[in-house]
Amino acid sequence: MDRTPQSILFLLLLIFSPSAAQNTIGSSPNKFHVGVILDLGSPVGKVGRTSVSLALEDFYASHRNCSTKVVLHFKDSAGNDVQAASAAIELLETYKVQAIIGPQKSSEAVFISNLGNTTQVPIVSFTATSPSLTSDIMPYFVRATLNDSVQVNSIASLIKAYGWREVVPVYDDTDYGRGILPHLIDALQQIDAHIPYRSVISLSATSENIMQELFKLKTMQTRVFIVHMSSTRASLLFTKAKEAGMMTKGFVWIITNGLANIIDSLNPSIIEAMNGVIGVRFHVPRSKELESFSIRWNRMYQQDNPTESPFNKLSIFGLWGYDTVWALAQAAEKIGVLINKNKRLQFSKNSTCLESLAVSRFGPELLTAIVQNKFRGLSGNFDLTDRQLQVSALQIINVVGRSWRHIGFWTLKNGFPYQLNQNGLKLTMPASMQHLNPVIWPGESTEVPRGWELPASANKIRVGVHTSAYPEFIKTSKDPVTNATRASGLSINIFEEAVKRLPFALPYEYQAFDTVDTQSTGSYNDFVYQVYLQRYDMAIGDITIRYNRTMYVDFTIPYTESGVAMIVPVKEKVNNNMWIFLKPLTKEMWFGSIMFFIYTGIVVWLLERLSGNGYLNGPFSLKQLGIVMFFSIFEEKEKLECFLSRILLLVWMFVLLVLASSYTASFASMLLVQQLSPTVTDIHELQKQGAYVGFHRGSYIEGLLEDIGFEKSKIRPYDTPDDFHIALSNEGRHGGVAALVLEVPYIKLFLAKYCNGYTMVGPIYKSAGFAFALPKRSPLLTEISRAILNITEGDSIIQIEKKWIDQNSCQNEEEVADSVLLRNQYKKGQRINTDYQNEQGHGPQEENGHIQDGDQNNEENGGKYATAWCDATMQPSGSGASHCWTPGINWYT
């Protein structure tokens, strides 16, 4: 074989110049082997492969003098955990890779990250988002993507902003699907939102199975769904949801960033089925570099996937894959790793292939270089501090047509830079803040959904009613024809008015509280407990909000005033003090008047004496002292010569006139009018005296009285207002009580009927008032409370109370007259207007200037009616009962 002189010369140079050969070999960069494990048949895997390959080209095109060069080794996991693990072992054994990019799924990352811990090889995944991967037991796993737990607070903020109280998560039965759930529950608990049901979609679920699950969700009240699924399963879910009629007005669908980040890559028909969906995704800032890269990426993707449909587009996962390669290449260049500088593990008996894997000598340094590398990439700020991608803001999107539109931003620091009002229709925010774009909800509705609906197949709301001792509050009866329960009263009127003001129709039916069927004692505690037992969907009536009841039901806002007070008889306060004539003026006034009286007399005496009044000449004597003390009495008898004396005396007479008039009026009122006062003002005084007290049977007041210290034998239950009246009338006798302890609304009703002779003392105890009871976390709670608030703030509550509680029908007089002067006027024939009537006749009438009796000695009506005089000044005609007095008989009111 012939050789040219040039070739021979070259061989001789190589033989005799070994140092030159070494320099030639050493000038080539050291290879840095990196494995890539992706599901190359999936849309995300195809996007990732193109982005990773293009990233390597771009990096070395801009860094030509690198001492190391990354060499990529792609392995297909085919979406299988076992195959992904096998690929990782092959990369570590065969190619001695110093780092692995991937795997794609969170379930695959668990085992492969353990391999990374054993071999000290960093595992960098830009697609595995499960929060369970963030752990100290996986120190060599680096997440170059968002942790799913980051987005739960943004989702919770959305739910709170729109006022939704219940949500249903719909997720894959995989590590990816389940991983977000604990964090989502914690976030929802912080905003007092509830998860009544979890919809778990199995990987083996067919279209029929998904349709059955959707119909099950449709029968529930909750209309807010959070979808956390793979793109393949989610596409099937929304297609079936549209067929099931669940993409219409009233429904809310929220997708997590795993699906929202790749929504551009979905089939347009799938996107159209998702119209009205809102989602949370990573925000990618626009840049010229990104636009240029997108063009080159699309070109290279079509070359790699010539048969692929044009729907698959560059997503955030492709950008993260691109930035991940740059981070690895920069870290490799920083540490200058050589491929052959590894050490083998020591073999032990029964060793396996896993134990024979080489340990990277520079693994810790490489891991440190990766997590400390911060730069501005195509995806934005690329920061892997704490071994996962740091994010400061998320974007809220709304799927409309075959695309999506921007709604707003959510930040980790400030949340949403706005607040929605109660209706969710208007935005209130500082002028400098960005406005939130309106959302087009499913069914092309712009009205914010309530988040719950009454299912179409549901029966009427079962409203439990309890007959009260006060029929003015609630009274039940049975329709003789239909046997349906009918109810009336103040509580019923308020409930029905509240239902009318709801922004939706609420069908309901009344169900009477049956103590036989429920095997209860008939107390209000048992009545409310039926709501917890789901026998009623709501309980209405005169139900007091109590702490122990809030343990198993929720209450609306109260519709009555609160408090517990006493009803006690009143007694006449007669003052027999002989010094009563001194009480019209205070001590200070008496002292001042006397001093001014003496001062005036002395000044007048001095002025007259200095002016030479002959009447006051001579030495000071008892006569002149009398003139000084009582000068005004002698004014007409003695002539004053000094002009100043006359002026001073005129002023004194004016003061004396005013003082005398005030004294006369005050003293006359004290003599003519006597006050009515309660027999007792302190409940603890009754307890110390061992007096009997009464309460409404079945009420919680019994326990309250026992807590105060009353013996059980001193507490007597009563059922009706008539029983209360009889018990108070028999005070000190058999069956009587000294006081009744009731809630303020009951007291108002009692005094409206039996006002004369009784008064209210208190409140002695605070309570929250009457309200309606609903199940815990009922979606109706907020709506009904808002309607009740609307009623109580307007005139409606006044009209309803006037209808059932006529407080002007009987007024309790606080003053009675006991005046001889008034009696004398009556004897002279002054006309008396009295409307006091007993049940069988009229009160006293005036005839020929004399008082005539009405029907007398009616013992059954609680008093005797004899020849009487009545106080016509205390009550105008037609305004109620007058006070009458009979010689030898006590006052009757």
Res 771: pLDDT: 94
3-class SS of residue 857: coil
Q: Read off the tokens for 204.
A: 């083996």
Q: Residue 673: what pLDDT?
A: 59
- Specify whether the CB–CB gap between 396 and 409 falls below 8 A: yes
On whether the CB atoms of residues 487 and 510 are closer than 8 A, the answer is yes
Two tokens, residue 474: 């609630």
DSSP secondary structure of 743-759: EHHHHHHHHHHS-TTEE
> For the chain, what percent of residues have pLDDT higher than 90?
35
Strand partners, 851: 846
pLDDT at 708 over 80: yes
Query: For residue 578, what are its two tokens?
Result: 């002989």
Alpha-carbon separation of residue 822 from 159, 237, 521, 870, 873 (angstroms):
74, 91, 56, 9, 10
Burial class (CB in 10 A: 0-12, 13-18, 19+), 94: exposed
Would you place residue 626 in the very low, low, confident or very high pLDDT band (cuts 50, 70, 90)? low
Nearest to 880 by CA among 803, 813, 804: 813
Lowest mean pLDDT among 228-242, 261-275, 599-613, 851-865: 851-865
Backbone φ, ψ for residue 598 (5° rounding): -70, -40
Per-residue pLDDT, 183: 93
Note whether 282 and 129 are within 8 A (CB). Answer: no
Whether 249 shows a pLDDT value over 60: the answer reads: yes
Q: Do residues 567 and 557 lie in contact, with contact meaning Cβ atoms separated by under 8 Å?
A: no
Q: Is the pLDDT confidence value at 838 over 60?
A: no
Q: How far is CA 823 from the centre of its chain?
A: 64
Strand partners, 224: 252
- Residues 391 and 387: their CA atoms lie apart, in Å, by 13
Query: Distance (Å, rounded) from C-alpha 549 to C-alpha 772?
Result: 12
Q: Which of 83, 90, 138 is nearest to 114 (CA)?
A: 138
Paired with 543 in beta bridges are 771
DSSP, collapsed to helix, strand or coil, labels residue 424 as coil
Confidence tier at 510 by pLDDT (50, 70, 90): very high
- What does the alpha-carbon distance between residue 575 and residue 606 come to, in Å, rounded to a whole number? 44
pTM exceeds 0.85: no
Task: Note the pLDDT of residue 127.
Answer: 92
Question: Torsion angle, CA of 313/318/322/323, rounded to 10 degrees?
Answer: 130
Residue 310 pLDDT: 66
Q: Alpha-carbon distance 750 to 695, whole Å?
A: 13
pLDDT in the model for residue 683 = 87
Region label for 53, one of left (φ > 0), alpha (ψ between -120 and 50) or beta (otherwise)? alpha
Check residues 668 and 881 and name the one with the higher pLDDT.
Answer: 668
Secondary structure element (H or E) that encloses residue 464, with its range: strand 461-465
The tokens describing 672, both together, are: 């003519």
**Tokens, residue 714:** 């001193």
Tens of pLDDT along 293-347? 999 999 999 888 888 776 678 889 999 999 999 999 999 998 874 444 444 333 3
Paired with 740 in beta bridges are 567, 694
Give the CA radius of gyration of the chain: 47
Residue 814 to residue 572: CA distance in whole angstroms: 10
- Residue 348 CB-half CA count within 13 A: 4
Euclidean distance between CA atoms 334 and 63, whole angstroms: 13
698 CB-near residues (< 8 Å, 6+ apart): 521, 522, 523, 524, 717
Contact 804, 798 (CB under 8 A): no
Looking at this protein, which amino acid is placed at residue 493? Answer: N
Please, where are the H alpha helices in 428-515?
Answer: 490-500
Structure tokens at 617: 């000449």
Give me the pLDDT at residue 457, please.
Answer: 55
Quote the CA–CA distance of 544 and 491 in Å, as a whole number: 12
- Amino acid letter for position 633: I
Mean pLDDT score, 586-600 = 83
Q: Please report which confidence band the pLDDT of residue 889 belongs to, taking 50, 70 and 90 as the band edges.
A: very low
- What value does the mean pLDDT take over residues 210-217? 94
The mean-pLDDT minimum among 58-72, 190-204, 644-658 falls in 644-658
In a 3-state reduction of DSSP, which class is residue 733? coil
pLDDT digits (tens, 9 = 90+) for 358-373: 888 888 999 999 999 9
| 3 state DSSP class of 615 | helix
Note the pLDDT tens digit of each residue in 732-778. 667 789 899 988 888 888 888 887 788 888 788 888 889 999 999 88
In this predicted model, what pLDDT tens digit does every residue of 856-880 receive, in sequence order? Answer: 333 333 333 333 333 333 333 333 3
Residue 572 contacts residue 817 (beta carbons within 8 Å): no
Whole-number Å distance between alpha carbons of 251 and 447: 11
pLDDT digit string (tens) for 11-58? 433 444 444 444 444 457 888 999 999 999 888 999 999 999 999 999
Amino acid present at 66 = C
| Angle in degrees, CA 526, 531, 532, rounded to 5 | 90
Identify the sign of the CA torsion 426, 429, 430, 433. Answer: negative
Q: At what angle are helices 81-94 and 106-119 packed, to 10 degrees?
A: 30
- The mean pLDDT value for 168-194 works out to 92
| pLDDT class of 560 with cuts at 50, 70, 90 | confident
- Cα gap 144→127, rounded to integer Å: 8
* E strand or H helix at 559: none
The tokens describing 442, both together, are 């499913």
Going from the C-alpha of 796 to that of each of 491, 543, 791, the distances in angstroms are 13, 21, 6
What single DSSP character describes residue 98? S
